[in-house]
Chain A
Amino acid sequence: MTPSAEEIQAWLVDRVAALTEVNPDDVDVRAPLTRHGLDSVMVVVLAADLETWLNYRFRANPLDAHPTIEALARFLAGEVANR
């Protein structure tokens, strides 16, 4: 099954909340991910988890072009669907 943008977004919100130890309701999907206090290790962990979950390999830093959770989820949904 291919996850939708909404599912990826919900997954990301949950993961970011877990990594930064905040309530998922406080995670702003339109704010840049780094603004949530994600450091380099967290970005690496998040990317590795995403790759495993979606069976997808990043070729460049996804946060460069898609800095927010919303944008990243939309991008990944498109990538996974077009695979």
Chain B
Amino acid sequence: MNRLLATTVVGAQLGLILLIAYTFEVAARIHFFPVLCLSVAGFLVHVWLPERLRPAFFPLLCVGGVMAFLGWPNGAWVLGIGGGLIGVCYLPIALGARVLLISVAAIVLAFLRLDVDRAFWPVLGSMFMFRMIVYLFEARRARENPPLALTVAYFFPLPNLCFLFFPIIDFQTFRETYRPSASWHQAQAGVGWIVRGLSHLLAYRIIKYYFLPAPHQLGELPYLALFLAANYALYLHVSGIFHIITGMFHLFGFELPRTHHNYFLASSFTDVWRRINVYWKDFMTKVFFLPAFFALRGWGTGVAVAVAAVWVFVATWLLHVYQVFWITGGLDVNPEVALLWLGASVFVAWNLQRDLARAGRRRAAEPAASASERASDPRSLALAAGSSQLWSAACHALQVVGMFVLISLFWAGWNAPMVFPFLQTQLTAGTQALPGVLLVAGVLLGVVCAGVAAQLVRERLHRLHLVPRTPSPAVSALALLTILTLVALAPHAALGDRAAGVVALLRREADTPVEAAMAVQGYYEEMLNARVPTGAWLAALQGRPKPLQTVTYTTMSRPTDDLLERELIPGWSGEVDGSSLTVNRLGLRDRADRAQAKPPDTQRIAAVGSSVVMGYGVGDDEAFPLLLEDRLNARRQPGEPLFEVLNFGTGKSYAIHRRVLIDRKVLAFRPDAIFYVAHQDEMLGTVQHLAKLLERRVKLPYPCLDDVLRKAGITPDTPTGEAHALLQTRALELIDALYRDLVKDCRQRGIVPVWVYVPMPGVAEAPARQEGFVRLAREAGFEVVDLTDWADGRRAAEVRRGQADQYHPNALGHRLIAERLDTALQQRPGLLRRR
């Protein structure tokens, strides 16, 4: 193809990829879009450069990218320390001496990582923690140093500027697959990988937003099974990012092999190991498994393989700890996780013995097979064997589904161990759990049948030459790109309300309420969301404020008893990221001249809620309760009472805390209305708090809570984990009981109970779940004010405080909430009248 035409075709596809990445806010928190822009611009220059200049161009682009994105001084630290480490690798001394120097440097850097809090560490760690091991391992057999440009490109690759969780690229592969003369075919392959990665990331969002059940649903086995499957499926986040990284390398002539290979279709433990994170597997095989195997060769093949496999998994656990340390700075040495990995190693060692035995059998039968037979797909041969066709397909489908179930359990054990008490509760529920068991078994059987049908149909289509055995990567990429572009550009009218709502949610990079509440924090999620500290230039380009400093809620609050846990320190004042935060003498984040005694002719509203209500991170005069008060008084008619909107917002508080606060503090102010402000996380923390109260054997002040406990079968002797699991399944009931009790109490006192729903943008909740939540408050007797669309279509980034605080609204956010609440009150003036 003509070079200009080819470049135009690839460039056009990259343009669409940019559009998709922007529209869907792909990896927006780790500023993927600007890095992708630089990569595309770099590709357009690279493709026209003479071949001799290309090897130097990519490293220069990478180094320039480090300075441009990380800014001064973080970029300089990364390049300086990294350059020093590379320099040691090039010293004209024995390899052993170089390894020793690098080891000493690594130890010193590790100590500094612990003690010196600098933003460049995650980036430096991500670039060097594994690649240096691989690089030195390769150096053992190298006769001369590799070209410096290639080494620089290897250690400072452009995609690393946004993706800190990075595949362990083998240096030998990196070097040998580099083609300075790469034609448009390589770039087209890169487009294919990026598009595939984007599709994984969007599939990840669909699963996260629509299929991952909320914790309160886990009391039913079908939801529990769905949680296990969806939790494993969230690994699409990793494979998506790794595919994108591979694709970005392809644009510059690095024909790196695939990092993942249909891992959900793995049919054995070793097959999973081969398909998922292939680079990790290769790294472990090369650096740990084979050296151990050959060292232990004298013990016999079987024993050597088994011990080497166990060693690999022990090393895997240690390396994960090592990786978490360099990227997040935390040392997470968890013996339970170690046991989990050890358990996995036993399965893999057992599976390896089976593979070896099978290889032995195949070897014995081999002379009968011709080379051409061997060249065919073995399963095709089995499928073609007529009578065994169905049996073979069924066995394979059963193995795949069985392996998916086992890996889902392993994954939960690693990333979401809190799910096991739920499983235990279900498994010990006797006949009560039978309908759920039957439903899950039925679904699994259905999947097996669908798998058998898919294999048979595919085989038939192959034989009729209607579908190629290997689909064209370019055609696949174009097809996927077309679908994604159509979804990205589809106008609301063409989709209809429901589909448009789904697309709008998918276009946002958001947390689930659980993530927002940090109740679940998986290993990969923690690593994948680790952020690159960007320089001022990029921050200005993206319109983001400077990184926030850390004054936490703990600083301005003090411990109380178990029921309330914490309260604001009366008279505390300070600054949170440049905004003044003052707590008045009454312990409210409110005006200094407030008095507990209610002035005459005053209508009082008590705003009760979270740190959002408190106005964490915005100035004293910017929190929405105060703005609402100003607005109400500004349009007050002569003769009407003055309005006071008292801010009782506190951080780290949930339904029980708030009820206790109302009883202990709010009622003393004689409010006419209580505005109970709730967000998507309302159901999460309450269960945790109640479980803690039970564990500490605190006498519960509300009989409604005892009722819930009684119905759940929880006694003072129920183990905490089990109590938590049982309570979680009754979260809705718990909230309902608390709400009804509060509403009843308010009505008896003549106080109007108003439930104000203020969902945080950037925290995704399936619309049905959200509607159910609002319905619950209404049925409990609250006057409901639903401010679901308070942000008025604005992007989450516009109304939140910034990258470092994904939860709290900024000043604009508070103004919008106040405006929307004021509008709602104008429409329903009865909410402000005492009954």
Contacts and interface: CB of A to CB of B under 8 A. Distances in A.
A41 B141 contact: no
Interface string A1-35: 00000000000000001110111101000001010
B371 A63 contact: no
A41 B355 contact: yes
B140 A64 contact: yes
A23 B13 CA distance: 36
A41 B372 contact: no
A48 interface: yes
Given A18-B366, A32-B172, A32-B176, A41 B359 contact: yes
Contacts of B305: 41, 44
A49 B362 CA distance: 13
B359 A45 contact: yes
Interface of B: 140-141, 172, 176, 270, 274, 281-282, 285-286, 289-291, 293-295, 297, 301, 305, 352, 355-356, 359-360, 362-363, 366, 369, 371-372, 374-378
Contacts of B297: 57-59
Contact of B375 (A22, A40, A45): A22
B301 A49 contact: no
Interface string A57-81: 1111101110100000000000000
16 contacts: A17-B371, A17-B375, A18-B362, A18-B363, A18-B369, A22-B375, A24-B371, A34-B286, A39-B285, A42-B359, A44-B356, A57-B297, A58-B297, A61-B291, A61-B294, A64-B141
B309 to A, nearest CB: 8
A57 to B, nearest CB: 7
B200 to A, nearest CB: 23
A54 interface: no
A43 interface: yes
Contacts of B281: 39
Contacts of A59: 294, 297
B12 to A, nearest CB: 33
B289 A40 contact: yes
Contact of A60 (B294, B360, B372): B294
Contacts of B378: 21
Contacts of A60: 291, 294-295
A18 to B, nearest CB: 6
A42 B293 CA distance: 13
A23 B371 contact: yes
B834 to A, nearest CB: 75
A21 B461 CA distance: 22
Interface residues of A, number: 29
A63 B286 CA distance: 9
Given A44-B293, A45-B360, 17 more contacts: A18-B374, A21-B375, A22-B374, A22-B375, A23-B372, A24-B371, A32-B176, A40-B289, A41-B305, A41-B355, A41-B359, A47-B294, A48-B301, A58-B294, A60-B291, A61-B290, A61-B291
Interface of A: 17-19, 21-24, 26, 32, 34, 39-45, 47-49, 57-61, 63-65, 67
B352 to A, nearest CB: 6
Contacts of B140: 64
A43 to B, nearest CB: 6
A21 B379 CA distance: 11
Nearest to B366: A18
B529 to A, nearest CB: 31
Contact of B374 (A21, A40, A42, A48): A21
B356 A65 contact: no
Most buried by A among B140, B290, B293: B290
For the complex of A and B, the 3 pairs showing the least CB-CB separation, nearest first, are: A23-B375, A61-B290, A45-B359
A41 B281 CA distance: 12
B175 to A, nearest CB: 11
Contacts of A23: 371-372, 374-375
A32 to B, nearest CB: 7
Contact of B270 (A18, A41, A57, A64): A41
A13 to B, nearest CB: 10
Contacts of B286: 34
A17 B274 CA distance: 19
B457 to A, nearest CB: 23
Nearest to A24: B371
Given A23-B375, A32-B172, A34-B282, A40 B366 contact: no
Contacts of A34: 282, 286
Most buried by A among B297, B305, B362: B297
A23 B305 CA distance: 28
Contacts of B375: 17, 21-23, 26
A39 B274 contact: yes
A20 B376 CA distance: 11
A45 to B, nearest CB: 4
B374 A17 contact: yes
Nearest to A40: B285
Contacts of A21: 374-378
A2 to B, nearest CB: 22
Nearest to A20: B374
A42 B305 CA distance: 12
Contacts of A67: 172
B372 A65 contact: no
A47 B305 CA distance: 12
B366 A44 contact: no
Nearest to B177: A35
A17 B370 CA distance: 11
Most buried by B among A17, A32, A41: A41
A24 B669 CA distance: 87
Contact of B356 (A17, A45, A63, A64): A45
Contacts of B376: 21
Contact of A41 (B172, B356, B374): B356
A40 B355 CA distance: 11
Contacts of B371: 17, 23-24
A23 B370 CA distance: 10
A36 B763 CA distance: 45
A59 B377 CA distance: 35
Contacts of A48: 301
B356 A43 contact: no
A65 B375 CA distance: 29
B290 A41 contact: no
A19 B355 CA distance: 12
A24 B286 CA distance: 25
A42 B352 CA distance: 10
B296 to A, nearest CB: 11
Given A17-B371, A23-B375, A40 B363 contact: no
Contacts of A39: 270, 274, 281, 285
Contacts of B289: 40
Contacts of A45: 356, 359-360, 363
Contacts of B377: 21
B44 to A, nearest CB: 31
Nearest to A45: B359
A31 to B, nearest CB: 9
A40 B304 CA distance: 12
A41 B352 contact: yes
A19 B176 CA distance: 24
